[in-house]
């Protein structure tokens, strides 16, 4: 049985998630687990897919970065799959771990992907440091603090933190911080 897994990091990437699901269906995946969560967050659908697969199944992902955040993480996932007799297929790389060559290619490509990610983060840090030194980096505007009065007014009306967050387009944790902050 082909089991698909699709993931995007944010809700703004809805089209990317839809494209992954569409591709997995076209490949013949009988069951697809999909979620919108950061690779470092708790991924309930990935865990559900790993729990569901059985010997002889193939877990299918469209791209390696949708599945694993590092070579170590990829190794953990592959170990779980191998222990259950399940192969991994990564569509855009043409890798299938049901073959020895596929296993080798996955390890090599995983190392290259992690190297590129680390280089990208290094370039990002350098760019931010340069922008800060030039006084051009201000960071993200604090959206929740700008909406503090609206948050307090809605809370006074008895609205829940979740409803307030949805109505104002901010996170529930931001609402909580505003409502529990001590006045300075």
**How far is 14 from 172, CA to CA, in rounded Å?**
21
Strand 31-36 relative to strand 95-96, pairing: unpaired
Note whether 18 and 46 are within 8 A (CB). no
What are the φ/ψ torsions at residue 180 (nearest 5 degrees)?
-105, 0
**How far is 67 from 16, CA to CA, in rounded Å?**
14
**Helices (DSSP H) in the chain: which residue ranges?**
14-26, 44-52, 71-83, 100-133, 143-146, 148-156, 161-168, 172-180
Annotated catalytic residue 174: no
> Of 9, 38, 39, 98, which is the active-site residue?
9
For 45, counting Cβ atoms within 10 Å of its Cβ (0-12 exposed, 13-18 middle, 19+ buried), the class is: middle
Which phi-psi region, left, alpha or beta, contains residue 94 (left: φ > 0; alpha: ψ -120 to 50)? left
**How far is 123 from 134, CA to CA, in rounded Å?**
17
Query: Would you please indicate which residues are annotated as catalytic (active-site) residues?
Result: 9
């Amino acid at each position: 049985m082909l089991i698909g897994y699709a993931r995007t990091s944010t809700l703004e990437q809805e089209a990317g998630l839809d494209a992954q699901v569409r591709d997995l269906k076209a490949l013949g995946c009988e069951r697809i687990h999909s979620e919108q969560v950061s690779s470092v967050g708790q991924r309930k659908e990935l865990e559900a897919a790993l729990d569901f697969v059985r010997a002889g199944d193939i877990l299918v992902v469209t791209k390696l970065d949708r599945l694993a955040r590092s070579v170590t993480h990829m190794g953990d996932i592959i170990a779980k799959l191998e222990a259950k007799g399940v192969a991994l297929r990564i569509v855009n790389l043409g890798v299938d771990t049901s073959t020895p060559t596929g296993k080798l290619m996955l390890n090599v490509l995983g190392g290259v992907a992690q190297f590129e990610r680390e280089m990208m983060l290094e370039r990002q840090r350098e760019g931010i440091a340069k922008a800060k030194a030039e006084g051009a980096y201000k960071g993200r505007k604090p959206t929740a603090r700008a909406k503090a009065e609206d948050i307090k007014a809605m809370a006074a009306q008895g609205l829940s933190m979740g409803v307030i967050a949805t109505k104002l387009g901010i996170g529930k944790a931001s609402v909580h911080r505003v409502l529990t902050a001590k006045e300075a």
